[in-house]
Amino acid sequence: MEKNWVDFKLVKSAVTMQMVLDHYQIHWLKKSGEELRGRCPIHQGEGQQSFHVSLTKNAFHCFSCKARGNVLDFVGAMEKCSVREAAAKIQDWFAVTTNLMPVETKQVSKTEKRETDSEVGNKPLNFELKGVDLGHPYLGARGITKETAEIFGVGLFSGRGSMSGRVIIPIRNERGELVAYAGRAIDESEPRYKLPVGFRKSHVLFNFHKVEGEQVIIVEGFFDCMKVWQAGYS
Protein backbone atom coordinates (compact mmCIF):
# COMPACT_ATOMS: atom_id res chain seq x y z
CA MET A 1 0.00 0.00 0.00
CA GLU A 2 1.35 3.42 -0.87
CA LYS A 3 2.50 5.51 2.07
CA ASN A 4 0.26 8.46 1.22
CA TRP A 5 -2.88 6.46 0.48
CA VAL A 6 -5.88 7.82 2.39
CA ASP A 7 -9.26 6.09 2.53
CA PHE A 8 -11.69 9.00 2.93
CA LYS A 9 -14.73 6.77 3.40
CA LEU A 10 -13.07 4.75 6.15
CA VAL A 11 -11.86 7.86 7.96
CA LYS A 12 -15.34 9.40 7.92
CA SER A 13 -16.97 6.20 9.17
CA ALA A 14 -14.36 5.51 11.86
CA VAL A 15 -14.02 8.97 13.39
CA THR A 16 -16.93 11.01 14.73
CA MET A 17 -17.30 14.74 15.16
CA GLN A 18 -17.33 14.13 18.90
CA MET A 19 -13.91 12.48 18.75
CA VAL A 20 -12.48 15.38 16.75
CA LEU A 21 -14.00 17.94 19.13
CA ASP A 22 -12.38 16.08 22.02
CA HIS A 23 -9.06 16.14 20.18
CA TYR A 24 -9.25 19.94 19.97
CA GLN A 25 -10.50 20.10 23.58
CA ILE A 26 -13.68 21.87 22.49
CA HIS A 27 -15.78 21.25 25.58
CA TRP A 28 -17.89 24.41 25.70
CA LEU A 29 -20.62 23.17 23.34
CA LYS A 30 -23.92 22.41 25.04
CA LYS A 31 -26.31 19.57 24.25
CA SER A 32 -29.57 20.55 22.58
CA GLY A 33 -31.58 17.53 21.52
CA GLU A 34 -29.39 15.54 19.15
CA GLU A 35 -27.09 18.51 18.55
CA LEU A 36 -24.25 20.34 20.26
CA ARG A 37 -24.39 24.12 20.05
CA GLY A 38 -22.16 26.99 21.02
CA ARG A 39 -19.48 29.43 19.94
CA CYS A 40 -17.79 28.56 16.64
CA PRO A 41 -14.23 27.24 17.14
CA ILE A 42 -13.36 27.94 13.51
CA HIS A 43 -13.81 31.70 13.26
CA GLN A 44 -13.86 32.28 17.05
CA GLY A 45 -16.97 34.42 16.83
CA GLU A 46 -19.00 35.69 19.75
CA GLY A 47 -22.30 34.08 18.79
CA GLN A 48 -23.12 31.61 21.55
CA GLN A 49 -25.48 29.52 19.40
CA SER A 50 -24.03 29.93 15.91
CA PHE A 51 -22.13 26.64 15.72
CA HIS A 52 -24.19 23.44 15.47
CA VAL A 53 -22.94 19.84 15.48
CA SER A 54 -25.30 17.02 14.52
CA LEU A 55 -24.24 13.89 16.40
CA THR A 56 -26.55 11.67 14.35
CA LYS A 57 -25.42 12.99 10.96
CA ASN A 58 -21.80 13.45 12.07
CA ALA A 59 -21.76 16.93 10.56
CA PHE A 60 -21.40 20.58 11.56
CA HIS A 61 -22.70 23.97 10.43
CA CYS A 62 -21.79 27.48 11.53
CA PHE A 63 -24.54 29.95 10.74
CA SER A 64 -22.13 32.89 11.12
CA CYS A 65 -19.05 31.99 9.07
CA LYS A 66 -21.06 29.54 6.90
CA ALA A 67 -18.55 26.72 7.38
CA ARG A 68 -20.22 23.33 7.16
CA GLY A 69 -19.58 19.69 6.32
CA ASN A 70 -18.25 16.50 7.89
CA VAL A 71 -15.22 15.66 10.06
CA LEU A 72 -12.85 16.14 7.11
CA ASP A 73 -14.23 19.60 6.38
CA PHE A 74 -14.05 20.56 10.05
CA VAL A 75 -10.40 19.54 10.48
CA GLY A 76 -9.58 21.18 7.15
CA ALA A 77 -11.10 24.44 8.42
CA MET A 78 -9.36 24.20 11.80
CA GLU A 79 -5.96 23.33 10.33
CA LYS A 80 -6.39 25.54 7.23
CA CYS A 81 -5.48 22.66 4.98
CA SER A 82 -6.99 20.60 2.17
CA VAL A 83 -9.53 17.85 2.77
CA ARG A 84 -6.93 15.26 1.80
CA GLU A 85 -4.44 16.65 4.32
CA ALA A 86 -7.21 16.72 6.92
CA ALA A 87 -7.98 13.04 6.27
CA ALA A 88 -4.31 12.16 6.64
CA LYS A 89 -4.12 14.04 9.94
CA ILE A 90 -7.24 12.30 11.29
CA GLN A 91 -5.94 8.94 10.14
CA ASP A 92 -2.73 9.58 12.09
CA TRP A 93 -4.36 11.08 15.21
CA PHE A 94 -6.80 8.22 15.73
CA ALA A 95 -4.66 5.40 14.30
CA VAL A 96 -7.18 4.60 11.57
CA THR A 97 -5.72 1.82 9.46
CA THR A 98 -6.94 0.18 6.29
CA ASN A 99 -6.13 -2.89 4.26
CA LEU A 100 -7.44 -1.28 1.08
CA MET A 101 -5.12 -0.72 -1.85
CA PRO A 102 -5.31 2.04 -4.48
CA VAL A 103 -6.12 0.76 -7.95
CA GLU A 104 -2.84 1.90 -9.47
CA THR A 105 -0.64 -0.10 -7.08
CA LYS A 106 0.49 -3.57 -7.98
CA GLN A 107 -1.32 -6.63 -6.70
CA VAL A 108 0.56 -8.82 -4.25
CA SER A 109 0.24 -12.49 -3.48
CA LYS A 110 -1.56 -13.73 -0.37
CA THR A 111 1.79 -14.78 1.10
CA GLU A 112 3.29 -11.33 0.53
CA LYS A 113 0.20 -9.69 2.00
CA ARG A 114 0.37 -11.81 5.16
CA GLU A 115 4.04 -10.89 5.57
CA THR A 116 3.26 -7.20 5.04
CA ASP A 117 0.34 -7.25 7.48
CA SER A 118 2.48 -8.92 10.14
CA GLU A 119 4.97 -6.04 9.94
CA VAL A 120 2.34 -3.33 10.47
CA GLY A 121 1.94 -2.41 14.13
CA ASN A 122 -0.35 -0.09 16.06
CA LYS A 123 0.73 3.54 15.90
CA PRO A 124 1.34 5.28 19.25
CA LEU A 125 -1.40 7.76 20.17
CA ASN A 126 -0.56 11.44 20.43
CA PHE A 127 -3.16 12.10 23.12
CA GLU A 128 -4.30 10.75 26.48
CA LEU A 129 -7.80 10.70 27.91
CA LYS A 130 -8.16 12.94 30.95
CA GLY A 131 -10.57 13.01 33.88
CA VAL A 132 -10.45 9.27 34.64
CA ASP A 133 -12.05 8.13 37.92
CA LEU A 134 -9.53 5.65 39.34
CA GLY A 135 -11.70 4.91 42.36
CA HIS A 136 -14.94 3.96 40.64
CA PRO A 137 -16.94 1.25 42.49
CA TYR A 138 -16.89 -1.01 39.42
CA LEU A 139 -13.16 -1.55 39.90
CA GLY A 140 -13.63 -2.57 43.51
CA ALA A 141 -16.36 -4.97 42.44
CA ARG A 142 -13.84 -6.57 40.07
CA GLY A 143 -11.32 -6.91 42.89
CA ILE A 144 -9.06 -4.09 41.69
CA THR A 145 -7.59 -1.79 44.35
CA LYS A 146 -7.11 1.93 43.78
CA GLU A 147 -3.33 1.45 43.87
CA THR A 148 -3.56 -1.08 41.05
CA ALA A 149 -5.91 1.22 39.12
CA GLU A 150 -3.37 4.03 39.43
CA ILE A 151 -0.53 1.80 38.22
CA PHE A 152 -2.48 0.63 35.17
CA GLY A 153 -4.30 3.93 34.57
CA VAL A 154 -7.68 2.18 34.68
CA GLY A 155 -10.87 4.01 35.57
CA LEU A 156 -14.23 5.36 34.48
CA PHE A 157 -14.03 7.93 31.69
CA SER A 158 -16.81 10.50 31.98
CA GLY A 159 -15.68 12.75 29.14
CA ARG A 160 -17.08 12.84 25.65
CA GLY A 161 -16.40 10.41 22.85
CA SER A 162 -16.80 6.74 22.06
CA MET A 163 -15.38 5.68 25.44
CA SER A 164 -17.68 7.90 27.51
CA GLY A 165 -19.27 6.07 30.44
CA ARG A 166 -16.91 3.11 30.14
CA VAL A 167 -13.99 1.92 32.23
CA ILE A 168 -10.99 2.63 30.04
CA ILE A 169 -7.91 0.42 29.99
CA PRO A 170 -4.75 1.92 28.45
CA ILE A 171 -2.98 -0.50 26.10
CA ARG A 172 0.75 -0.07 25.52
CA ASN A 173 3.15 -1.75 23.13
CA GLU A 174 6.36 -3.52 24.14
CA ARG A 175 8.13 -0.14 24.33
CA GLY A 176 5.56 1.24 26.76
CA GLU A 177 3.99 3.56 24.17
CA LEU A 178 0.24 4.13 24.46
CA VAL A 179 -1.37 2.66 21.34
CA ALA A 180 -5.05 2.33 22.26
CA TYR A 181 -7.75 2.34 24.91
CA ALA A 182 -10.10 -0.53 25.56
CA GLY A 183 -13.47 0.52 26.96
CA ARG A 184 -15.32 -1.89 29.30
CA ALA A 185 -19.07 -1.37 29.70
CA ILE A 186 -20.12 -1.15 33.34
CA ASP A 187 -23.72 -2.15 32.60
CA GLU A 188 -25.35 -4.46 30.07
CA SER A 189 -24.32 -2.33 27.09
CA GLU A 190 -22.93 -4.00 23.99
CA PRO A 191 -20.24 -4.49 23.00
CA ARG A 192 -18.89 -5.45 26.40
CA TYR A 193 -15.42 -4.31 25.31
CA LYS A 194 -14.91 -1.55 22.78
CA LEU A 195 -11.64 -1.14 20.86
CA PRO A 196 -10.63 1.46 18.24
CA VAL A 197 -11.38 0.76 14.60
CA GLY A 198 -8.32 -0.77 12.95
CA PHE A 199 -6.62 -1.76 16.20
CA ARG A 200 -4.63 -4.99 15.82
CA LYS A 201 -5.11 -7.04 18.97
CA SER A 202 -2.73 -9.75 17.80
CA HIS A 203 0.16 -7.27 17.75
CA VAL A 204 0.02 -6.45 21.46
CA LEU A 205 0.43 -8.56 24.59
CA PHE A 206 -1.14 -6.52 27.39
CA ASN A 207 1.35 -5.35 30.06
CA PHE A 208 4.28 -7.01 28.27
CA HIS A 209 6.31 -3.80 28.53
CA LYS A 210 6.57 -4.34 32.30
CA VAL A 211 7.94 -7.87 32.10
CA GLU A 212 11.19 -8.46 33.96
CA GLY A 213 13.16 -11.66 33.75
CA GLU A 214 12.57 -14.67 31.52
CA GLN A 215 9.29 -16.05 32.86
CA VAL A 216 5.91 -14.70 31.81
CA ILE A 217 2.47 -15.51 33.23
CA ILE A 218 -0.19 -15.31 30.52
CA VAL A 219 -3.85 -14.94 31.50
CA GLU A 220 -7.00 -14.35 29.51
CA GLY A 221 -8.25 -10.85 30.31
CA PHE A 222 -7.19 -7.34 31.29
CA PHE A 223 -8.51 -7.62 34.83
CA ASP A 224 -6.96 -11.08 35.27
CA CYS A 225 -3.60 -9.52 34.42
CA MET A 226 -4.13 -6.76 36.98
CA LYS A 227 -5.02 -9.28 39.67
CA VAL A 228 -1.86 -11.28 38.95
CA TRP A 229 0.20 -8.10 39.37
CA GLN A 230 -1.82 -7.26 42.48
CA ALA A 231 -0.92 -10.66 43.92
CA GLY A 232 2.76 -9.80 43.69
CA TYR A 233 3.72 -11.28 40.34
CA SER A 234 5.36 -8.51 38.35
The CATH code of the domain at 132-230 is: 3.90.980
Closest by CA to 204, choosing from 227, 186, 181, 185, is: 181
Share of the chain above pLDDT 90, in %: 44
State the Cα–Cα distance between residues 192 and 186, nearest whole angstrom. 8
40 pLDDT band (50/70/90 cuts)? very high
106 pLDDT band (50/70/90 cuts)? very low
- The pLDDT of residue 8 is 79
Amino acid at 210: K
Please calculate the CA angle 121-127-129 and round it to the nearest 5 degrees. 110
* pLDDT score of 100 more than 50: no
Closest by CA to 206, choosing from 181, 232, 233, is: 181
86-90: average pLDDT: 88
Please spell the DSSP secondary structure of the chain, one letter per residue: --TT---HHHHHHH--HHHHHHHTT----EEETTEEEES-TTT--S-TT-EEEETTTTEEEETTT--EESHHHHHHHHHT--HHHHHHHHHHHTT-------TTSPP--HHHHHHHHHH--PPPPS-----EETT-HHHHHTT--HHHHHHHT-EEE-SSSTTTTEEEEEEE-TTS-EEEEEEEESSS-SSSEE--TT--GGG--TTGGG--SS-----SSHHHHHHHHHTT--
* 176-204 tens-digit pLDDT: 999 999 999 999 888 999 998 888 888 88
Identical fold for domains 8-119 and 132-230, yes or no, is no
* pLDDT score of 119 more than 60: no
Closest by CA to 153, choosing from 97, 203, 210, is: 210
98 pLDDT band (50/70/90 cuts)? low
Domain assignments of the chain as residue spans, ordered by start: 8-119, 132-230
126-135: average pLDDT: 91
- The pLDDT of residue 73 is 93
Amino acid at 157: F
86-115: average pLDDT: 58
* pLDDT score of 120 more than 80: no
Architecture category of domain 8-119 in CATH:
Alpha-Beta Complex (3.90)
